[in-house]
Structure 1
Amino acid sequence: MASALVEFDEGTAAAAGPMLVAPGLEGEIDAIRSHPALTRAIHELFVTLTQQQAGEGLRRFVLGDKARRLAFWTAMSLDAERKVDCGPGLTVNRFCEHLTAHGEMSRGRARAIFEFMRHTGFLTRVGEAVRGKAVVYEPSERMNRLCAERLAFGMTALAKVSPSGTAALARIQNPAFLTGFARLARKHIISGFRPLDSAPALAIFIGRDGGEYIAMHLYLAHLDLPPEERAAGFTFNITKIAGLTHVSRSHVSTLVRDAAEAGLIERGPQRISVTAKFEDAVAQSLATTFATMADMARTAIADMARAAMAEMPGR
């Protein structure tokens, strides 16, 4: 299968605006969307991500919403560019330029996220500072470990709907695979392609603090019911979810109210039920995410094979 990751000019890509579907992936997205194991794959991914996030509140500030998740992968990808392509690497200015290119955040917020990641030990300086030169940073061992852990969660779920997930899992402990995957993420970041944005209905969750995790908890509560009981709905403990997602009760309540107004859930006196609109949006966004991950995994594996061939004696 041809890769959707093609060469393009950074300036042209940024000016073109964000994309909802990566060119060349439509067929794979449709195949995953219709895969009988998709719901099971989504359930497994949501369980592992919510458990990880609940376990360490600090991670909410690194991966708590769309902007911070984008910042996380931008940092990883700029460092990978330095390691693979001998590029300039991760500097404050390049980090901010990537994150502000599509109007998704202000330069002030991008800079604040960078400083938070630096002060909490997720980013470290490369070498000594040289007067007149931009300081280059790299992900710390802690950040690389978090990235590898989350990538393993994603590939384990992907393996249920694509053989590319199985192939990636066989290489997940190889630092070259992690670096190669992160390097490929940069092209999507520059282009403006955001897999989860393929389902605009989820925007009320994705762009807000802890919103992605609150959406996951709602969806898991729905899936954990026997199929014949789902229409009747489930109880949703606001206090418990606030504690698990490290946000306030009022914030969770606001998101639940907004989701009801958007037609994603229905609220009764005691119970909440998920609507078909919510289910369809989750399926679309995760099918797009899985297809993107599969494409990147295949490309990273092929790049590793080419690099190994080039290093063989006599070549």
Structure 2
Amino acid sequence: MYGLLLSIKTVTDLIRALPVGFLTLFSTNASCTVVDTEQGSSLGNPSEKQLQSTSTDNTSASSISKPRVFKDKDDSRFTTFMNHPEISEIINEYFGYLNLAQHKEYPTIKDEIYEVVAMKLYWIVNTTKGGSLKEAAIQKAKKWLCDCLHRFEPYIHLIEVSEFKLNYIPIKAWKFLIDHCGTRELWISNTTIDTAALNHPDLSKMTVLHLIGVGLTKMPCLYNLTGLKHLYLGDNKIKHVDLQSYFDAETGECNPMRNLEYLSLRGNLIFNVDARIKKVFPNPSMEIYLDETVLRHPFSDVKEKLKKEGIELTGLDRESEMDWMSRTN
């Protein structure tokens, strides 16, 4: 048989006749789109999901002109980043892949969720001075979320907020990400935060919390975060580790942090520590890190350790004083 010979004009005409989506598959700028092979299925088996166009996806978050959760800076850099077409595209693809629209609460908070995820991507990338965005930064953000889509568990484990003030605490968005996007760690730094609002049962599945340089002057009360294992309170202004807020004002009953295994107070000028740490932090694996010493459960030598560092153990009543003496003598 003779080989099939086609003129350049014929080949060109054939290419023009191909569907746009066919060429997109071979484009170096093609977006990383993945959706479920079964419409409306859950996240249960991500390995069965395949690449597919999401041009008709109805889970896309609305276009947001200005942030609602976060207060942008004067250069509007975050607003510019959040509304960049390629950032919007990859976030909406991620939402479509996880089929977030199937959850009844999604439509009312989708813009809030979008903004929280956009802030996560914002701190992954580098931006230039003056508010302009490097193309490399946009591509870095896209690659990070695209890589998430190809993991066996395509989750956003860590959510970050740093150097941006919040108009309000996005509890509903954080809960949604915890429940449906695998978020387990929250990093808040170099801003101000209402810690009372963080003590919310909707965040009970959170396992790691960072409150770094947020101006804390006292120990935050977080007993509703029952799943919390690691708590970082570094570089704040805590002087007195007072745990009174963990005890009911009427009954005196303790609301302990049973699962907490690690508390960092480094970078705080501590003068005294509440003796009730044994009741509030009863986990056998519990460790409390100060600048120069580590206190470990069952805290049998805590009084001596604190004394060496010039830190007073306070809040001892007659019963607890005898208990401490029996352990330290």
TM-score range, shorter chain: under 0.3
Q: Normalising by the residue count of structure 1, what TM-score does the alignment of the two structures yield? A: 0.27
